Amino acid sequence: MTDTKHCCCSSGCQCGDDCQCTEDNKCCPECKCYVRKNKELVRRFYELIAARRYDEAAALCSDDFVYYPEVHTKLEGVKAFIDLERSNMDPFGNFKMTNQFMLADDDRVAVYLTFEGDLQQDNWHGVPVNNKHVYMDFMCMLKVKHGKIVEKRAKYDRYDIFKQLGVSTLPLK
């Protein structure tokens, strides 16, 4: 038997962990239980990426997933996103990616993460690295629809990362 609790709204509706509320099929007009579910979905997504379980992370995304690694760059499809994640993370041996905090409202979840690890290859994205250590932080904004991630936008300081790798001048692209 599932413990029930009052819904987040004032209707007196009873919700438990198996609440079926979604952004488009609320159990009552004021319910926001789906916001908690969205946060849990995104938390799981990043746990899977940190564990390099990319296929499981991809399964949490919709078929029409879109990723914006930069404001003017759009990658369509979860496969393009996963391919990019692999190219960024697989060259690291053991790394630590930590979810520092999350904020959610309606269909959006914002996540602040830190990443730290040692590159295990001689070259990373065209830069000689020779086992260099990288520490970075980044923010992501994800959009959830029907219980799946449909969009991810990331903000990070690419120039700081390359500076840590010893690159003193970068072409502006």
pTM of the shown model? 0.83
Q: Is 21 exposed, middle or buried (0-12, 13-18, 19+ CB in 10 A)?
A: buried
Select the more confidently predicted residue: 162 or 138: 138
Per-residue confidence (pLDDT) for residue 27, from 0 to 100: 61
Residue spans of the domains in the chain: they are 17-164
Question: Which pLDDT tens digit goes with each residue over 22-71?
Answer: 665 556 656 677 888 899 999 999 999 999 999 999 999 999 999 998 88
Residue 72, pLDDT > 90, answer no
d(CA 147, CA 36): 11
Question: Which pLDDT tens digit goes with each residue over 97-134?
Answer: 999 999 999 899 999 999 999 998 888 878 888 788 99
Per-residue confidence (pLDDT) for residue 1, from 0 to 100: 43
Per-residue confidence (pLDDT) for residue 97, from 0 to 100: 94
Which option is the CATH number for 17-164: 3.40.190.80, 3.40.50.11260, 3.10.450.50, 3.90.1150.10? Answer: 3.10.450.50
Q: What is the largest CA-CA distance in the chain?
A: 62
